[in-house]
Amino acid sequence: MKMNFKNIIYWSILLPIVVVAQPRLPEGYFWKKLPNGLEVVVIENNKVPLATIEIAVKNGAYTEGPEYSGLSHLFEHMFFKANQTYPNQEKFLKRTQELGAIWNGTTSEERVNYFFTFDKDSLKQGLQFMNAAIRFPLFRVEDMKKERLVVDGEFQRNESDPNFQINFESQKRLWGDLLTRKNPIGDHNIINTATPEKMTTIKNKYYVPNNSLVVVCGDVEHNNAFKLVESIFGSWEHSGFDPQTKFPIPEFSPLTKTDYFVKESSIAQTPYLTYWWQGPDTRNDSVSTIAADVFNTILGLNSSKWQQALVNTGLSSYAYVGYQTSKYVGPVSIYAMPNPNKLKECTDEIKKQISQWQNDDYFTDEQLNDAKQSLRRNNLRSLEKPSELSHNLTYWWCSGSYEFNTDYIKNCLAINRADIKRYLNQYITNKPYVAGILISPETNKVLKTDSFFKP
């Protein structure tokens, strides 16, 4: 699927005039680009008398070399601390209470976003509050000392989760030297030694209007919202450069061979199985990103051969196949919780099923249609909560395009067998992958996993 952004340039005798075509958006969505490069989308939705303000920045793990690993996440935490208008966290939090705001932020591989939801009558005050936090953070040393412990504590809690352990071990093998570009949680040492200077570097690189999107969603009127955003954010100065061009993201090296590993862990009460491939991305093969979603939805149907062979037979209590849509190499993954008494049989059956994915009779036309309709219904349910609309839009703005979001369901419904076969042939069938088992030392001693879990 190709992006439809076009820049149409008309030259006058004295000055060039640049007209940027409006992106295609769903009904009720309105777009504007301010002179400083800040993009603004207003989503009119009057289901409830609330408004959500969200700002997304094209930042995250994919912008981080080893010396900054995890600091986009730390920056997200610092956003909710002191700034020039609210010079300590107590005043910041007091203001959220005055606004009656529900608020949060997230950091992922390709997006950092912040959002506040409050009464619609507080739109101007909410925009002023967001403006103070995004443009004028203070990065006080005492705040950083506290928040480094909070972020690192979150990391440590994740490490106590078996899913995180096997996932992290798999990621190291899947991404190699560029692991930090796919690891939002970061590195303990980098987090615990972070300085205000590093936070300022991140701000100056990425927290600029021409690398950001403001979304106003809810019971609002778009012209009024545009005027408020421009009056408050219009003085935010353009950086003078495109961060995505000046600080290019390195390309991930393709896997050259299949890699199996067994990781022993005392917290693995039951074995965990994972398989990982480097899949498609929205820059180079957007059709396959959608084909992956449709095919994985087929595999999730109770009637699928995949579920019948693995879950219904008792070989595994859970067998999930997923794909993460990304601008830079989206991973395809299998997660399974095998029956410890049938571990070898489970791994053999997974291999067998994968080898059959390309077969014409692996799924029926009815299952293909059921999967498409399931995606359509899930999308309709996601539209019921207005505040979710902004989260969805900013995700696609960072990892795809406005049009990718607008056309997603239409393109899911258009996927056919040939699209799925092409996706599997291009990224899965006979392609290198990473496979891992997390298992307790006692269970591994009995089952001798190394004897059968191998390429």
73-123 confidence digits (pLDDT tens): 999 999 999 999 999 999 999 999 999 999 999 999 999 999 999 999 999
Query: Which CATH number among 1.10.357.10, 3.40.50.2300, 3.40.1260.10, 3.30.830.10 corresponds to the domain 25-239?
Result: 3.30.830.10
Distances in whole angstroms, Cα of residue 122 to Cα of each of 126, 175, 389, 401:
6, 45, 19, 30
Structure tokens at 298: 């087929």
List beta partners, residue 84: none
> Mean pLDDT over residues 245-257, rounded?
97
Q: How confident is the model at residue 21 (pLDDT cuts 50, 70, 90)?
A: confident
Evaluate if residue 219 carries a pLDDT over 90: yes
Distance CA 134, CA 117 (A): 16
Question: What pLDDT is stored for residue 20 in this prediction?
Answer: 64
Q: What percent of the chain has pLDDT over 90?
A: 94
pLDDT tens per residue across span 394-429: 999 999 999 999 999 999 999 999 999 999 999 999
The answer to whether residue 15 scores a pLDDT higher than 70 is no
Q: What is the crossing angle of helices 162-175 and 141-159, to 10°?
A: 100
CA distance linking residue 303 with residue 297, whole number of Å: 11
Same fold, 25-239 and 259-451: yes
Residue that is written with structure tokens 């076969």 in the block? 421
26 pLDDT exceeds 60?
yes
Q: Give the pLDDT of residue 17.
A: 41
Which H helix or E strand runs over 33? strand 29-33
The pLDDT value given to residue 6: 31
Instruction: Please state, in angstroms and rounded to a whole number, the distance separating the CA atoms of residues 140 and 136.
Output: 12
Q: Is the pLDDT of residue 283 over 70?
A: yes
Mean pLDDT of 240-246: 97
pLDDT at 19: 53
Question: What is the model's pLDDT at position 7?
Answer: 34
Q: Is a pLDDT exceeding 70 seen at residue 168?
A: yes
Looking at residue 131, what is its pLDDT? 98
Distance, in Å, from the CA atom of 424 to the CA atom of 256, rounded to the nearest integer, reads 18
In the predicted model, what is the mean pLDDT of residues 215-241?
A: 98
Mean pLDDT of the 156-160 span: 94
Q: Dump pLDDT digits (tens) for 375-396.
A: 999 999 998 989 899 999 999 9
Res. 329: pLDDT tops 80: yes
Cβ 115 vs Cβ 387: under 8 Å? yes
Ordered DSSP codes for 254-268: PP-S-EEEEEE-TT-
Strand order, beta sheet including 434-439: 259-264, 434-439, 272-278, 331-338, 316-323
Q: Would you state the pLDDT for residue 404?
A: 96
128 with 118: CB under 8 angstroms? no
State the Cα–Cα distance between residues 93 and 80, nearest whole angstrom: 8
Confidence at residue 218, expressed as pLDDT on a 0 to 100 scale: 96
Residue-wise pLDDT for 333-348, tens only, equals: 999 999 999 999 999 9
Is residue 11 predicted with pLDDT exceeding 60?
no
Contact between 274 and 436 (Cβ < 8 Å): yes
Indicate if the pLDDT at residue 29 is higher than 90. yes
pLDDT band at 443 (very low <50, low <70, confident <90, very high): very high
Structure confidence at residue 24 (pLDDT)? 96
Mean pLDDT of the chain: 94
Look at residue 16 and tell me whether its pLDDT is greater than 80. no
pLDDT class for 167, splitting at 50, 70, 90?
very high
DSSP letter, residue 449? G
For residue 392, the Cα-to-chain-centroid distance in whole angstroms is 10
Which residue ranges make up each domain of the chain? 25-239, 259-451
- Which pLDDT score is estimated for 137? 97
What is the average pLDDT across 161-179? 96
CATH, range 259-451: 3.30.830.10
What are the tokens at 361? 């009779």
**pLDDT value at 360 more than 80:** yes
Question: Taking residues 247-253, what's their average pLDDT?
Answer: 97
Q: How confident is the model at residue 145 (pLDDT cuts 50, 70, 90)?
A: very high
Residue 1 has pLDDT above 60, yes or no: no
